[in-house]
A = this chain, B = another copy of it.
Amino acid sequence: MPVRLIDSLASTAPLAEVFSDGSILQALLDFETALARVESRLGIIPAHAAEAIAAVANPSNFDIAQLSEKTLRAGTPSIPLVKALTQLVRGRDAEAANFVHWGATSQDASDSALALLLKRAQPIIESDLARAQSALHALSEKHKATTMLGRTLLQAAPPITFGLKTAGWFAAIRRGQQRLSSAFAAAFILQFGGAVGTLAALGAQGPRVAEELAIELGLTVPEAPWHAHRDRLAALMCACAVLTGSVGKIARDISLLMQNEVGEVAEPESEGRGGSSTMPHKRNPIGCTVIIAAAGRMPGLIASYLSTMVQEHERSIGGSQSEWPTVAAVIQSTGLAAASMAEISEGLTADPERMREHLEATRGAIYAEKATMLLAAKIGREEAHRLVQEATRRAGAQNRKLAQVLREMPEATKHLANSALDNLAVAEDYLGAAEYFRQRLLHKSDTAIKKD
């Protein structure tokens, strides 16, 4: 089952498979089969009915085209599916046909099926996130001493290490993945409430059936049916969006570092990847591209989901029904971002020499802050700022080094030792707590520090 062309830049194949016709049908049938099995075990329906249902509940027995067409008329896939399933069961065991979908409502099936699909999607996404974290962790360790320009507002700023930068990327993915894991767990939840969430059709046995059904399907039992309360799913969608936003930030950084004029890192090369139909010289940052595209679609998708939370009464009109394509798009975009980030970070090459060249190319201007701090202790911050700004301007205009220009300014030399000026532009001398923070990013979490 290939990814459709329309989605070919918006999903990986495994996640497209999760939301394929066959997979959805299977999940819906899993619900019906498990329900029958549980109800038979509890003596609510005959054992042979459960057997007959299980026997025919195979996606290959169903006509997807018909199901799809009838779904639009019925407003839910469950109605035509249950009808078709009942027909099949009847063909095998006429009496059994009476016990299909016993005590459930359409949304019980479709929401529980959605939970099952999400459960299939999670390991796919999380394994890619784990790969990305592991690769970024290694990159950070490898480049803990590789100095490079810090860049703020797209302008050159004092130095950092590439190790610190990648550690920041790593920690952002780790935080996002932790939120995602929790949100996924909270969304693996049974829906089973019958028509209005009371399971009235099952009399006193409703809660028992619900518990067994959850076990059967590997889902959690919620406090109560949640047909019109979508907060757990909304929280999952949001966790996807926050993670994808962080991955998008990393891709943005990498794509900027890959500009020809910068050229400090490069996405891995491979056959068929990142070429151009017309320009043989191009190495396009395709991995970053699909991530940035995913991060661009995501905020709107989340808005779509959130705006359908305002649902009417026990089951809504147009709320849950609008969710499926949105949920699929969110999960697929998240998974594509994760997969692409895994691939990029595992193959990312860095060019410490180019990094150093760009540090040098600033001719010390990026140490203006440092010069200011050195002077400020003597002549005050504002006066120092003014002085260094003037020196910076002169250095820029004359294409000279900041330290050289300062050396010629008596106000500066009066307060700055020669050695200070000699070392002004040594990146390693102006890294502050870069390594301290890098290690915390790799190894710690935010620490609550309270006043006692």
Question: With A2-B65, A196-B158, A274-B74 given, is the CB distance from A316 to B286 under 8 Å?
Answer: no
**In the complex, A369 Cα to B433 Cα: how many Å?**
47
Q: How many copies does the complex hold?
A: 4
Question: Scoring A residues 145 to 167 as 1 if CB is less than 8 Å from chain B, else 0, what string do you get?
Answer: 00000111111111110001101
How does the 8 Å CB contact mask read for A204-248 relative to B, with 1 for contact and 0 for none?
Answer: 101100010011101011111101111110110011011101101
* Complex Cα spacing A260 to B105, Å: 20
B446 touches A189 (CB 8 A): yes
Taking A105-B278, A153-B285 as contacts, is the C-beta distance between A297 and B326 under 8 angstroms? yes
A431 proximity list for chain B (CB < 8 A): 198, 200
Across the A-B interface, the 4 shortest Cβ-Cβ residue pairs: A292-B318, A245-B309, A150-B196, A300-B304
Tell me whether A291 is interfacial, beta carbon within 8 Å: yes
- Nearest to A263 among chain B residues (CB) is B261
Given A153-B315, A281-B366, A369-B201: A75 touches B274 (CB 8 Å cut-off): yes
**In the complex, which residues 22-70 of chain A have their Cβ closer than 8 Å to any Cβ of chain B?**
24-25, 64-70
B75, B385, B445: the one contacting A223 at CB < 8 Å is B445
Q: Mark A297-327, 1 if CB is under 8 A from B, else 0.
A: 1111111111111111111111101101110
Chain B residues with Cβ below 8 Å from A353 are none
Q: Which B residues are in CB contact (< 8 Å) with A430?
A: 200
Instruction: Report which of B94, B260, B293, B434 forms a contact with A322, defined as CB distance below 8 A.
Output: B293
Q: How far is the CA of A324 from the CA of B329 in the complex (A)?
A: 12
A290 to B317, CA, bound (A): 8
User: In the complex, which of the residues B19, B432, B450 contacts A206, with contact meaning CB atoms closer than 8 Å?
Assistant: B432
**A-side interface mostly:** helix
Docked pose: A295 CA to B448 CA in angstroms: 32
- Listed stretches A6-14, A120-128, A129-137; interface member: A6-14
| Closest B residue to A318 using CB positions | B292
What CA separation (Å) do A433 and B283 show in the bound complex?
Answer: 25
Contact A64 B2, CB 8 Å, known A202-B432, A231-B245, A382-B86: yes
Asked if residues B372 and A9 are in contact (CB atoms below 8 Å), the reply is no
A181 within 8 A of B: no
What are 11 A-B contacts defined by CB distance under 8 Å? A2-B68, A104-B277, A152-B227, A164-B224, A165-B314, A195-B369, A207-B433, A220-B447, A248-B309, A260-B362, A295-B309
Q: Is A344 close to B, CB under 8 A?
A: no
A247 CB → nearest B CB, Å: 9
Does A414 touch B at the CB level, under 8 Å?
no
Contacts of A116 in B (CB 8 A): none
CA A267 to CA B451, docked complex, whole Å: 44
A332, closest chain B residue (CB): B325
Contact A98 B249 (CB under 8 A): no
Closest to A161 in B: B198
- A281 and B105 form a contact (CB under 8 A): no
- Whether a CB of chain B sits under 8 angstroms from the CB of A350 is no
Which one, B220, B245, B309, B445, contacts A246 given CB within 8 A?
Answer: B309
CB of A265 within 8 Å of the partner chain: no
Q: Is the CB of B2 within 8 A of A194?
A: no
| Interface presence of A352 (CB below 8 A) | no
